[in-house]
Amino acid sequence: MSVARPRGRRGQGALLRDDILAAATRLLDLGGEHRVTLRAVAREAGITAPSIYPHFPDPPSVLKAAADAGRAELAALLTASATRSADPRRRLHDACRAYLDFATTRPGCYRVMSDHPDETAPGAPTTGHLAALIAECAATGRSTSTDPEADAVALWLGLHGIAHQRAAHRLFPWPADLVPDLVTALSGTTRRAGPNR
């Protein structure tokens, strides 16, 4: 049960909007989209349901905002993951792992991002990050890709398929090398001999 939220001061509406969005995101990750009703969000945020209306007129608008916030969070994770190594191939693999980790640890948010895509750029922000990393691999001789954007879309679809199937079939014995093999095949990256292949 949520504790009542202290009354905000005039001009702090953006803080309330953030609290509402955080409450909706918690509900998403706890039980999915069907748990995001205005009444449930209000209860989770410690406010009254009418307090939501100045910020969100209905549950679909809350879900769209949650999807947009999820995309921003994923973009930050992809950017951070791609800075951990000097090797572009390693950065690509790290970004793909970060994508799948996000899908696993934030299942409700990930699902709502898929159900409420950015219509102007499906797969955003992932495809842009992957395309840049594949292009860098190609420029350094670590990928045979001649079309990083198309390869990024194929790789994103592969990652999305893995994320979806892992969520749907949790007990299936997924091969340990499935993700590295998928990333290597779809990005055209090449392996080097040695411990950091």
Tell me which residue of 48, 111, 11 sits closest to 20, measured CA to CA: 48
pLDDT band at 197 (very low <50, low <70, confident <90, very high): very low
User: Is residue 111 over pLDDT 70?
Assistant: yes
| Phi, then psi, of 188 in degrees rounded to 5 | 70, 20
> How are the residues of the chain apportioned to helix, strand and coil, as percentages rounded to the nearest 5?
65, 0, 35
Tell me which residue of 28, 6, 181, 3 sits closest to 116, measured CA to CA: 28
Domains in the chain: boundaries: 1-57, 63-187
Tell me the C-alpha distance between 117 and 93, whole Å.
24
The whole model's pTM is what?
0.85
Mean pLDDT score across all residues of the chain: 88
User: Is residue 136 over pLDDT 90?
Assistant: yes
User: Is residue 76 over pLDDT 80?
Assistant: yes
What pLDDT was estimated at residue 6? 55
What pLDDT was estimated at residue 7? 54
pLDDT band at 12 (very low <50, low <70, confident <90, very high): low
Residue 124 has what DSSP assignment?
T
User: Is residue 10 over pLDDT 50?
Assistant: no
What pLDDT was estimated at residue 158? 97
Selecting from 3.40.50, 1.10.3470, 3.90.1570, 1.10.10, what CATH number does the domain 1-57 have?
Answer: 1.10.10
Q: How far is CA 20 from the centre of its chain?
A: 20
Tell me the C-alpha distance between 14 and 35, whole Å.
23
Classify domain 63-187 at the CATH topology level.
Tetracycline Repressor; domain 2 (1.10.357)
Indicate the range of 6-10, 67-71, 80-84 predicted with least confidence: 6-10
